[in-house]
Amino acid sequence: MSFRHTLAGRLMADPMAVVALIIITALVAIAVFADVISPHDHTAMNLADRFAPPSSTYWLGTDNLGRDTFSRLAQGSRIALYVALTAVTISGLIGLVLGMIAGFGPRWLDNLLLFIFDTLRAYPTIILALALAALMPRGLSTVIIVVVITSFAEYGRVVRTQTLSLKNAEFILAERAMGASFGRIVFHHVLPNVLGPFFILAAMNLPVVITIEAGMSFLGIGVPPGTPSWGATLKDGFDYIRNTPWIIIAGGLPLILVTLGFTFLGEALRDQLDPKLRKSR
């Protein structure tokens, strides 16, 4: 099979996917090489230069303590990626396992899990975050726990639906008739078919998680002050918006780009992985 017929090849032929991959690659590169590309120490205060506008010295200006905004955003990309990848991975795995259990399990178990999924999905994320923040120490772990609790149900729902539609499909029934084990059916036939929608959902959820982290930090229930998260930068920007608009503009920029990048990627993946959409093109 030639490269252009592989998933990667098809994605590279899609302009939306290319834009998405450029943005995401840039984000990952900035996160990985943050220490190298940051022109200043992100913790270094320089009160004489606070609220400086963008310049050749401070590419995105400085904050209220004279810290370089670009360097802080570069470091913040590590936090954003760390939270997003960790939270999406954990919630995805939990959702995957529970969704398949619901799909294959007895009716009562399916109903019970469905009840749990729907209850959790109905609970507003920020309200839950506020409640948990009062009980738990402030930090990235709390942010991740909040995201996992509020988002694994979505994966579980999608996986359950896929599993239910697959478990009585003709090819699965044929496998069973030929004496295939339960494990073979799950890992060789159901799981690969579930992963397509699962990854689309994960790609779509990554920016949501990043926004939740930023939102929690903005509300003061995310990372502790001084941590260079994007939400904390936005909060500083809001606090000092009368002194300079640059902090809030710079703080919002990566959030917009990352949301666009992952949303484009999710859309492109859906175009390529959803057989109905592929046929219609």
Partner 1 sequence: MTKTRPSAPFSNVTRRQLMAGAAALSVGAMIPVAAWADGSRLNVRAYLEPDDYDPLDASGFLEELLYGCIYRKLIQYVPGEEWDWQLDLAESIEQTSPTTIEFRLKEGQMWSDGYGEITAEDVKFSMDRHMVEENNSRIKPDLGSFTHVEVTGTYSGIIHLDRPFAPLWTIALPYLAGTVICKEAVEAAGGKITTAVPPAVSGPYRVVEHRLGERWVLERNPEFSGTPADFERVDLIVVVDDSAAEIAKDAGDVDFTSIGAGSVQRLRDNPPAGSRMTVHPALFYHWVGLNVQHPKFEDERVRQAIMHAIDVPSIMQAAFFDVAEPSTGIIAPGLIGHRPETLIPPQADFARARELLDEAGIDRLEINIDVLNNVTHTTAAQVMQAMMAQAGIDLNISVHESGSFWSLGVAADGDRWQDLELTIKRFSMTPDPYYATAWFVSDQIGDWNWEQFSSEEFDRLHDEALSETDPDLRDEMYRRMQDLMEESGGYRFLTHGVTANLFADSIAPATRPDGLPLVQFFRRA
Amino acid at 150: T
Sketch the per residue contact string, 189 through 228, with partner 1: x for CB under 8 A, - otherwise: -------------------------------x---xxx--
Q: Closest Cα to residue 258, out of 212, 219, 227, 222?
A: 212
**53 interacts with partner 1 by CB under 8 A:** no
**At closest approach, how far in Å is the CB of 240 from partner 1?**
7
CA atoms within 13 A on the CB side of 203: 22
Distances (CA, A) of 254 to 81, 107, 166, 206, 251: 12, 45, 39, 14, 7
- The reply to whether 47 sits near partner 1 by the rule CB under 8 A is yes
**Least separation, in Å, of the C-beta of 87 and partner 1?**
22
CB of 211 to partner 1, least distance (A): 21
Residue type, 21: L
Q: Which stretch binds partner 1 (CB under 8 A): 52-60, 88-96, 180-188, 237-245?
A: 237-245
User: CB of residue 250 vs partner 1: minimum separation in angstroms?
Assistant: 18
Tokens of 170: 């003709």
| Interacting residue with partner 1 among 16, 18, 45, 191 (CB under 8 A) | 45
Among residue numbers 138 through 167, which ones bind partner 1 (CB under 8 A)? Answer: 138
Q: Tell me whether residue 207 or residue 237 sits nearer to partner 1 (CB atom).
A: 237
Angle between helices 140-167 and 191-218 (to 10 degrees): 150
Asked whether the beta carbons of 117 and 161 are under 8 A apart, the reply is: no
Alpha-carbon dihedral of residues 104, 108, 113, 117, nearest 10 degrees?
Answer: 120
- As measured in angstroms, the least distance from the Cβ of 241 to partner 1 is 7
Residues of this chain that interact with partner 1 (CB under 8 A) are: 43-45, 47, 50, 64-65, 134, 137-138, 220, 224-226, 238-243
